[in-house]
Structure 1
Amino acid sequence: MNSDARWMARLAPDRERPLGALLAMPLAWLELTKPRIGLFVVFAAFTGGLLAAGPDADLGRLLLAALLVGAVGSSSSVFNQILERDLDRRMERTSARPLVVGTITPRDAVLFAALLGFGGTIGLALWFNVLSALLGLSTLVAYALVYTPLKRATSLNTVVGALPGAMPPILGAVAMVGHPGPWGWILFAILFAWQFPHFLAIAWLYREDYARAGMKMLPALPGSAGMAGRQALLYSLLLLPISVLPGARGDAGIVFTALALGLGLAYCAASAAFAWRESRSTARLVLLVSLIYLPLVLTGALVDPVVSSVLGN
């Protein structure tokens, strides 16, 4: 079969293929982007952009910026899975990913990742500003080409990976106003510190998987007993003053400050339990609180100016 015939065969419907398999293909592409992480990236970029631009922000333009940042983030996730597909085969948690089971080929995944990254970066440059595009591209490179290989080399990969992981609010703010502003930096710091208890809990729960794959995650290293819990507690304590800083500076009102303080104390309590006794139950508690903490804090940052304005009137 020549190349044109093969191409047409790929485009034509496969009548012998079960309907369920055909419907599974779009889901496989979606899974490749890690959609839950992608939604978080879009929401964090939207929050950073709105707080930077203020109440008169063009919401359509803001949503476009957030989606472009999300495209860059999804590109990072796809490149990450391309580079780690051999390791993913060894891990029970990741053994059903599309690249591992062959639903999507590495070549197609590379094209998909390049399209997402190129589209997001060029869109930021054309419709917003070059700085946001350069920062977006730098975030993609840092995540895919620096953090991802470091997971095989050193447990410090978590520190390196937390930097691009905290960038979405800054990218949203820079796209909208050309600079991060106070809220951009504060949200960056919150996201940076928040990631450590979250990912240390995940790494502890799947430490045997990581060890089998040869990834240098802290809980998977020999002699690391107790270290994940202590570090989770350290970063949750660091997160507490960072998260109440906007209230102390006068940049936030009662809604954000109360949410940040209450949820921060809950995060500290869960991390303290994990530090006191590393177990599946305490690790799962940290993970649960982390998943509650971030969306509520970001929502609080969005709602707070509205409530403060109403109370002020």
Structure 2
Amino acid sequence: MRRDASSAKTALSLGAAVLQCCGDWAELMKLRLASLVTLGALVGAILGAGAWSELPRALEAAFWISCSAASGGALNQVLERESDRRMKRTAGRPLLTGRISVRNAILVAGVLGAAASFGLALHFNLLSAFMALGSLFCYVAIYTPLKRVSSLNTLVGALPGAMPVAIGYAALAGGINGWAVSLFAIVFAWQFPHFMAIAWIYREDYRRAGMIMVPVLEGGERAAGIQAFAYSLVLLPISLLPSVWGDAGAAYGVGALAAGLMYSAYSLRFTLVQNQCRARALFVVSLIYLPVLFAVIFIDQWISGGLGA
């Protein structure tokens, strides 16, 4: 009995250690953020393919693009170790606690980035591979260090943030047009209210870490609200571009307008009164907006018969 109890305890300890290890690597590669990357890349790839029969290839493209994003997430944490140490939100990250070594993080990030580039180049096309490499470079080499230099980091960071949808489209379509341009513009503008809410919620953390986010600047808390609302208004006409260009029908136009108005309403609430409750509400709505919009795209395509079997 004692031996059985000891074996069970050992198995439980081993299971807990495995789960901890998996959780650490997931945190290092920012897999929660990568889930939105995967979804956006998949949507772009399906629209680029133009047919549901290409879903397996679209899933593969989304996988490689997610690998590239995971590589960027890991390298970002390698470069920001000292900043993360000063922030309550990030002080427990695996690189800081020693659960993952810097060497291993760099090695895995390098493998993921290289695999993503070669996977896209060999199985799809060079355009998508170079786009993924450019996005990774912009995120790691430009956006990451810029966070300590200028509040323009949000603008720069929005570029690689919007790339996955365009890369997915390019991988299956072989070029950039129509939906790729629209989706890139939509995700680009969407990020600003999203980021302003996050930066406002964690403004004291960013201030301690020396990161120059808009809410950290003098008068920046108010400015963050104004920018969030301004970009939500910019997003409204941008989100209607697919209907204007004939890529989507009336169902998409109505759905996109409704989702955009909801996003703008919560951005306006945050603009009028900046507090934790309204910032978090805007953040939650921002997470809802993109999946809703993507769902509206496919509902419209189903109604119009835009995607073939």
TM-score tier after normalising by the smaller chain length: over 0.9
Structure 1 residue 100 corresponds to structure 2 residue 96: yes
Aligned with 2:117 (options 109, 113, 121): 121
**CA root-mean-square deviation:** 1.7
| Structure 2 stretches lacking a partner, 5+ long | 1-9
Distance 2:246 2:78 in 1: 45
1:262 aligns with 2:258: yes
Distance 2:242 2:19 in 1: 47
Deviations 1:77-134 (A, max 9, x none): 1111111111111101111211121110110000010011010001111111111111
Q: What is the CA distance between 1:17 and its match in structure 2?
A: 11
Match of 1:230 in 2: 226
Native 8 Å contact 1:49 1:173 kept in 2 = yes
Deviation at 1:23, TM superposition (A): 3.1
Q: How do residues 114-263 of structure 1 correspond to structure 2 at under 5 angstroms?
A: 114-263=110-259
Q: CA deviation at 1:194?
A: 0.2
What residue number does 1:73 align with? 69
Paired letter, 1:30: A
Aligned length: 296
Secondary structure of the corresponding residue to residue 167 of structure 1:
helix
1:166-208 Cα deviation digits (max 9, x unpaired): 0011101111121122100100000000000000000000000
Structure 1 runs not aligned, ≥5 long: 1-14
- Structure 1 window deviating more from structure 2 (243-252 vs 201-210): it is 243-252
Moved more, 36-45 or 159-168: 36-45
Greater mean deviation of Cα atoms: 203-212 or 246-255: 246-255
Helix, strand or coil: the match of 2:258? helix
Between stretches 19-28 and 259-268, larger displacement belongs to: 19-28
Q: Is the 8 A contact 1:51 1:302 kept in 2?
A: no
Distance 2:86 2:139 in 1: 22
* Structure 1 equivalent of residue 85 of structure 2: 89
TM-superposed CA distance for 1:303, in Å, is: 2.7
How many angstroms apart in 2 are the aligned matches of 1:255 and 1:67? 30
Q: Distance in 1 between matches of 2:86 and 2:29?
A: 20
Question: Is 1:306 the equivalent of 2:302?
Answer: yes
| Bigger mean CA offset, 155-164 vs 38-47 | 38-47
| TM-score normalised according to structure 1 size | 0.91
Q: Percent same amino acid among aligned pairs?
A: 48
Measure the CA separation in 2 of the matches of 1:54 and 1:17.
Answer: 48
Instruction: Say whether 1:276 aligns with 2:260.
Output: no
- The superposition leaves residues 26-47 of structure 1 with CA deviations (integer Å, 9 ceiling, x where unpaired) of 2211221111211111111111
Deviations 1:220-279 (A, max 9, x none): 122323100000010000000011121223211233222211110011111111111111
TM-score, scaled relative to structure 2: 0.92
Letter in structure 1 aligned against 2:114: F
The structure-2 alpha-carbon separation of the partners of 1:282 and 1:144, relative to structure 1 and needing over 3 Å to count, comes to same
In the other structure, the counterpart of 1:48 is 44
Q: 1:54 to 1:22 in 2, by over 3 A?
A: closer
